[in-house]
Every structure is written in C-alpha cells, then in structure tokens.
Chain A
Amino acid sequence: MLIIRLRGKEQLIADARAKGQSTDQALSSTDDAVAQNLMADMSTDEMDAKAELRLLRDFENSIEAGFQMATFQGPLCAEPVVGMAWVVENVSFNKDAEDGESESSPKFDLDPRTDGRSRKEFCSSRSSHLFRPRFMSSGNAGLVATNQTCNVHV
C-alpha cells in the first residue's frame, strides 16, 4: 500500500464530489481515508499506531518546511532553486534510544538551539551565501555574465 500523496488526495476528493458531497465533506472523508491508509501500515495496537501517526505527521511537516526553505534560498547566492527533485529515500527514528535514555542521562540533545553542530552549520551556510571569498575570487565562477559599464573621465 502506498502513502496517499497529492495526486491520490486529489482523486479521492474528485470521487467524493462525484458522489454529491460538498467540498467540506469531501475533504473530511479524504482525510479519513488518508489516516486509514497510514494506520493500515502499522501492525501495532491502536494507541501506539496513533502516537506514531502523530510523530510521522510531525516529521512530514518538518521535512516539507525544510524543502520549502531550501528551494526558496538555494546554495547559489541564496537564489531560488529551479528544476530540482529531492527524493526522501529514508527517514528513521530511533525511538528506543530515546525511550531508554530518558531515565538516565539524556544521550540526545533535543533542543536545536543547543545542538552546536547544526547551529554552526546553519550559520555558516547562511553567511557564506553572498561574499564567500573563494567563490568571488575564482574569476570564472559566475551565474551570469556581468553587465556593467565604466566610464573613465580624464
């Protein structure tokens, strides 16, 4: 069973509307179908499945937000990205590591503000967008030909 994505949802909505439902009804029945589709993938009991469903939905939103940010401010001069596809091949959540460690000393630093590594990476990637010396001095590296004129009055 595949995860229902944009196109699948669109079809479900169209089907529901063809049966004479209003837009709101169509949307809610589509949401139900999507939730059931996700639930069916999980063989654990209902409470666990619901908790995991919530967790995965959180992940999905974060991944999508990251995608929107990355495409809006790309790696070249923070310009929007055009024509790229990203395939999220795998995401795994090490649940037991979190459960097991929470009683003793926390192994995972869950506050992103104190995660030194990701913060540093974030800052460096932001500040290096524009005037990274290596990029500027390499001479032949340019997105478009420079279009400047200079009049010298003697």
Chain B
Amino acid sequence: MAPPKTKDAPRGTIHGSLFNGLVTYTIRALPLPEPVIDFLSAHTATIANLLSHSAGDGDDLDASDAQGQARLLAPEQFWEELEELFKEAGQEWAGAAERIWAFGSKRVGPNVLLDPEGKSKLRYVVPSLTR
C-alpha cells in the first residue's frame, strides 16, 4: 500500500488552503463499510423523499418506487437502520449517522459528507491578533 500522503495524520487526510491561506481546511477521505454502501444504494428513493420533504415539497410517502429499489422507509426507520449498520461496522463509525451532512452524488448516492467526530464546532474563524 502506498504511504499516507500526509505525515502524522490518519490515512486519507489532506490539509489544504485556498486564496493564499485565507481559508484552510482539513479533509479526510475513507471508504464506507460495505453494508452501508448497499443500504444507501438500495434506499436512494427514501433519501430523495427525505430531502424533498425537508424542502417542504409535501410528504406523500406513496411515491412510486424506482426499479430495483427497496421499499420506501419512513425517515425515523431509515435513520435507525443506518445507525445500526454504522454501529456494526465498528468503533470508528459509531454515531456517524448523526454526523451526516449530505449524501452524494446528486444528493442521494452512496457517498456521505460527514462532520468531524466529537467536535462541537466544525469551523473556526481565526481570532483577531491586531484588533
């Protein structure tokens, strides 16, 4: 396996900056557990329903299922099952369901954007030194 790109950080971590250091960021990429991928792939219709519901598009749960899709789940059921899968996947993924920021691609795919673990604040505005 190739050595990690960034030293002294977990595999997959990248530090970067934009606009000459105006914004700096740290992002870590890691593969999802197999059962979670399968679950997300099978329930794209549920996720789409979830998102459109949040956008105020009404909440008809009887929307027609796409082909090859599992049946539509209620939001609570979806999150519970997802949390269970993450829990089974190991310590690293515990509580990941709470941290999900977005699904992708096209907002419903089997990839997730996550908030960092155990951190109450994701963003940080560098405090004034001159003021």
Binding site for B on A (CB under 8 A): 1-3, 5-11, 13-14, 23-24, 27, 41, 52, 55-56, 59-60, 63-64, 67-68, 70-72, 80-98, 100, 107-110, 115, 118
Contact = CB atoms under 8 A, between A and B. Distances in A.
Contacts of B23: 59, 91-94
Main SS at interface, chain B: mixed
Query: Top 6 closest A-B pairs, CB basis?
Result: A71-B104, A71-B105, A72-B105, A83-B37, A89-B26, A90-B26
Contacts of B32: 83-85
26 contacts: A1-B120, A2-B120, A5-B99, A5-B101, A10-B50, A14-B75, A23-B53, A27-B54, A64-B101, A64-B113, A67-B102, A67-B111, A68-B106, A70-B104, A81-B105, A82-B109, A82-B110, A83-B36, A84-B32, A84-B111, A87-B27, A88-B25, A91-B24, A96-B128, A108-B19, A110-B19
Contact of A93 (B22, B97, B110): B22
A5 to B, nearest CB: 6
B100 interface: yes
Interface in B83-131: 96-102, 104-107, 109-117, 120-131
A85 B31 CA distance: 6
Contacts of A14: 75-76
Nearest to B55: A27
A89 B13 contact: yes
Interface in B57-96: 58-59, 75-76, 79, 96
Interface of B: 13, 18-32, 34, 36-37, 41, 50, 53-54, 56, 58-59, 75-76, 79, 96-102, 104-107, 109-117, 120-131
A70 to B, nearest CB: 8
Contacts, number: 189
A94 B22 contact: yes
Given A81-B111, A82-B37, A89-B26, 20 more contacts: A2-B115, A3-B115, A3-B121, A7-B98, A10-B79, A14-B75, A60-B101, A64-B102, A72-B104, A80-B109, A82-B111, A83-B37, A83-B111, A85-B111, A90-B26, A92-B25, A94-B24, A95-B125, A96-B127, A96-B131
Given A83-B37, A115-B19, A118-B18, A89 B28 contact: yes
A86 B76 contact: no
A22 B113 CA distance: 30
Given A91-B25, A94-B22, A41 B58 contact: no
B124 A6 contact: no
B30 A87 contact: yes
B114 A97 contact: no
